[in-house]
Structure 1
Amino acid sequence: MTATTSARAFAPGRALRPGGKVLPEHARAHNRSLVLQTLFHQAAMSRADLARETGLTRVTISDLVGELIADGFIVETGTRESSGPGKPAILVDLDRAGHRIVGLDLSGSEVVIGAVLGLDGSIIERREIPLPVAGDLLDAVVELARGLVDAADAPVLGIGVGSPGVVDPRGVILAAPNFGWVGFDLEGVLRNALGLPVLVANDANAAVLAEYTFGGAGDDVLLVKIGRGVGSGLLAGGQPMRGARFAAGEIGHVTVGTDGGPECVCGKIGCLEAWLSVPSLAQRLDAASPADHDRILRDAGERLGIALAPIVGALDLSEIVLSGPPELLDGPLMDAALETLRTRTLAEFHDGVRVRMTAQGQDIVLRGAAVMVLSGQLGVS
């Protein structure tokens, strides 16, 4: 049995604002999620502790804990040490080893990465395959996922996938120019092939969830994911932003500057992705002398700052996080992006904007995929 909730949370004490009141028919699922969410972030506690933390009655907590133990999501971990009189309290906790999650990251410029993850986002087993040509990609992804499911040492709660492109809430790839996918139901295809719950999201949107849950990002943050393409995931007031056509954060195909530039895979000239994607940037660096490398990186950073400035100005963001190869991003490129951002926004309000690299490395999308599954299947993250 799984639970859903109308107020998904992505970090301790930072639940997303619910879209409306919890209806009576949804109350039990909401309360299950509340119990799981509390244990997920605060570790083992007694039933009485849970009642105090959640605001639910002890009778309700006792009932829910019994149900969640039967469903295999909670375990009793022993008794609390006590020097006082009375029977020691029995502690319960999320059964962190009781289920696994499979995560897939399709955003790499050279490889597809997959992993078996724990409920805490830890990588238990990690595999990668060379990026196939577009026509062979789906079969390779299915085979990778199937192998990871077989390798899991506990039941798999679900499969989370981070994919380049514009992805709607049903997991349909509306457009992924690098793969040639248009209106492709990746979620449905994988679900049918693997026989497990599957959740698909844009890779940058998955990454920003990982940064919010595991990376200490604030409530107003833009994560720029730079790999085979360029995209971003956005949280404003702790709320993921998708946009009217599910394309919020698609900054890769914004033209930066009026001086032309390289041709983009989308057919336009001078898109941010054509300047900043890992293949494009690496190609220009390889063709240049080492003395010109800093200039090339600073130029790419300036283009990024041009794209970011109106977003920061419009949304009053406090933090920009970069995800991608640190050898390309961390240095002249990031410095130039921050300088350009500050010169193009209102100093009184935006001089304190922080630009930093994620500390989660290349596993950020995999960990975001785990957040997606936790939220979708259990209502916690």
Structure 2
Amino acid sequence: MTVAMSHPGFNSGALPPLPNSAAFGARLTRSGQGATPGDAKLHNRTLVLQTLYSVGAMSRADLARATGLTKVTVSGLVGELIADGLLRELGLQESQRPGKPAILVDLARDAFAVIALDLSDHRVFRGALLDLTGHVIDRASAPLDGAMGDVAVELAISLALDLASRTTVPLIGLGVGTPGVVDDAGTVRTAANLGWEQVDLQRQLGERTGLPTVVANDANLAALAESSFGDSSDDFIVITIGHGVGSGLIIGGRPVTGTRFASGEIGQVMVGTDLGLEAPYAREQVLEHWLSVPSLNAALAAESDKDDARERVLREAGYRLGIALAPVVGVLNLAEVVLAGPLELIEGTLAEATLEILRRRTMPDSHNDLIIRTSMQGDDLILRGAVAIVLHAQLGVV
């Protein structure tokens, strides 16, 4: 399969994609099967791309040393990747050594683009064209105006097609972050806010755009963005705070989705322990009741005439988040908790209250250096995660 666009306005490319690795966190190797020559070449090609993506421009000789491949193998792969348009020669390497200077090669980071959609906001679908570094080239948005079900699906498709028509470079693929439970085939099993049940969003978007498409849960993509483009550790959790509350986990540098693709559904964890041990599950006692943006804004408005109201509301939300996170941090021995949401709500009091509870409720010797911080990627967090998952699926990098 090649990335060849047949839709009017699309630019053609010729990028041989990886085997079916579109699932969030899918492994690049096929365990339990013997390696074929094609597997070995694909592995080496991916290794070259990943090394250049991570390190930057290198000579062929340095690339051979960094990857452990022979100079002949690297030279052949670099030639093929230059022909594909994925690499470019940058010029001579500065060197103090005698002899002919080497030529540097690097990824053609601005020669291709990815379409990314962020469907997490209950008011508007947002999309962007981004280059291989996660830099935004162009943006577009589509107000939801209450759209649900098939109408919301068509809105997402129209947004993707609009962005595709604007590109001046070949497209590698389409990445989508959506609320709800999403399986490894890109089917949205359930997304209540959009009225989606068993919606094969990945297939529909792929067929209508002609692009290799990957659809994943928005919070999982937020974690992938922090891992790929942020300064994160290999063991952390991202808490996304918006219309609802979700989370994404990276453990040992790899994303975790769970046996039923529902890992990270922390917003529905019951943290209202005030009712006692015998209390049944109740939606008004779940984390979202205290922590979602609508809940926080409503509580702040209701208490606005009281002294220290803002401090009290945000501290309570932070405490509840700490209660929910303490077992997770304790079991997984996480290094970081990353908060993503409106900075005016999550920075300061809320984050400090969360850390206070985490320190009280976990073993000090194991978690005394735990970091809690806010994401610095702003509104582009999920869009960048969508870029990362497309690059992983199509090129094997990030």
The alpha carbon displacement at 1:63 in A equals: 1.3
Unmatched runs of 5 consecutive residues or more in structure 2? 1-14, 276-280
Q: 1:269 aligns with which of 267, 274, 284?
A: 284
Is 2:142 aligned against 1:129?
yes
**8 Å contact from structure 2 (residues 270, 282) kept in 1:** no
Unmatched runs of 5 consecutive residues or more in structure 1? 11-15, 261-265
Is 2:269 aligned against 1:257?
no
Q: For 2:16 and 2:287, locate their aligned partners in 1 and report how far apart those are by CA, in whole Å.
A: 41
Q: Report the RMSD for the aligned CA atoms in angstroms.
A: 2.3
Identify the residue that residue 221 of structure 1 maps to in structure 2. Answer: 236
Q: For 1:182 and 1:212, locate their aligned partners in 2 and report how far apart those are by CA, in whole Å.
A: 30
Q: 2:373 aligns with which of 356, 372, 376?
A: 356
Is 2:38 aligned against 1:23?
no
| Cα distance per residue 1:249-306 (max 9 Å; x no partner) | 111111112346xxxxx98331212321112222222232253222111111111111
The number of equivalent residue pairs is 370
Q: 1:4 aligns with which of 12, 18, 27?
A: 18
TM-score under structure 1 normalisation?
Answer: 0.91
Identify the residue that residue 93 of structure 2 maps to in structure 1. Answer: 80
Q: 1:294 aligns with which of 296, 305, 311?
A: 311
**8 Å contact from structure 2 (residues 115, 173) kept in 1:** yes
Identify the residue that residue 206 of structure 2 maps to in structure 1. Answer: 191
Q: For 1:277 and 1:158, locate their aligned partners in 2 and report how far apart those are by CA, in whole Å.
A: 32
- The 3-state SS of whatever aligns with 2:283 is coil
The alpha carbon displacement at 1:83 in A equals: 5.5
Q: For 1:232 and 1:315, locate their aligned partners in 2 and report how far apart those are by CA, in whole Å.
A: 14
**8 Å contact from structure 2 (residues 116, 174) kept in 1:** yes
1:261-340 aligned at under 5 Å gives the runs: 268-290=283-305, 291=307, 292-340=309-357
**8 Å contact from structure 1 (residues 79, 89) kept in 2:** yes
Identify the residue that residue 57 of structure 1 maps to in structure 2. Answer: 70
**8 Å contact from structure 2 (residues 111, 169) kept in 1:** yes
Q: For 2:20 and 2:200, locate their aligned partners in 1 and report how far apart those are by CA, in whole Å.
A: 24
Residues 217 and 19 (structure 1 numbering): CA distance in 2 closer, same or farther, change over 3 Å? farther
Identify the residue that residue 209 of structure 1 maps to in structure 2. Answer: 224
1:138-153 aligned at under 5 Å gives the runs: 138-153=153-168
Identify the residue that residue 36 of structure 1 maps to in structure 2. Answer: 49
Residues 79 and 353 (structure 1 numbering): CA distance in 2 closer, same or farther, change over 3 Å? same
**8 Å contact from structure 1 (residues 107, 229) kept in 2:** no
| Cα distance per residue 1:292-337 (max 9 Å; x no partner) | 2221111111111111011011111111000000111112211111
Aligned amino acid, residue 237 of structure 2: L
Q: For 1:305 and 1:207, locate their aligned partners in 2 and report how far apart those are by CA, in whole Å.
A: 20
Q: For 1:81 and 1:336, locate their aligned partners in 2 and report how far apart those are by CA, in whole Å.
A: 51
**8 Å contact from structure 1 (residues 81, 88) kept in 2:** yes
Identify the residue that residue 9 of structure 2 maps to in structure 1. Answer: none
Q: Which moved more, 1:169-178 or 1:302-311?
A: 169-178
Aligned amino acid, residue 234 of structure 2: D
Residues 124 and 370 (structure 1 numbering): CA distance in 2 closer, same or farther, change over 3 Å? same
Q: 2:79 aligns with which of 66, 69, 93?
A: 66
The alpha carbon displacement at 1:84 in A equals: 4.9
**8 Å contact from structure 2 (residues 28, 396) kept in 1:** no
**8 Å contact from structure 1 (residues 285, 293) kept in 2:** yes
Residues 294 and 23 (structure 1 numbering): CA distance in 2 closer, same or farther, change over 3 Å? same
**8 Å contact from structure 2 (residues 339, 373) kept in 1:** yes
| Cα distance per residue 1:322-378 (max 9 Å; x no partner) | 000011111221111111111111122223211110111111111111100110000
The alpha carbon displacement at 1:20 in A equals: 4.6
Q: For 2:43 and 2:298, locate their aligned partners in 1 and report how far apart those are by CA, in whole Å.
A: 50
- The 3-state SS of whatever aligns with 2:154 is helix
TM-score under structure 2 normalisation?
Answer: 0.87
Q: For 2:39 and 2:185, locate their aligned partners in 1 and report how far apart those are by CA, in whole Å.
A: 21
**8 Å contact from structure 1 (residues 234, 241) kept in 2:** yes
Residues 326 and 201 (structure 1 numbering): CA distance in 2 closer, same or farther, change over 3 Å? same
1:370-381 aligned at under 5 Å gives the runs: 370-381=387-398
Q: For 2:21 and 2:127, locate their aligned partners in 1 and report how far apart those are by CA, in whole Å.
A: 28
- The 3-state SS of whatever aligns with 2:69 is coil
Q: For 2:327 and 2:202, locate their aligned partners in 1 and report how far apart those are by CA, in whole Å.
A: 33
**8 Å contact from structure 2 (residues 122, 193) kept in 1:** no
**8 Å contact from structure 1 (residues 101, 158) kept in 2:** yes
- The 3-state SS of whatever aligns with 1:153 is coil
- Percent identity between matched residues is 51
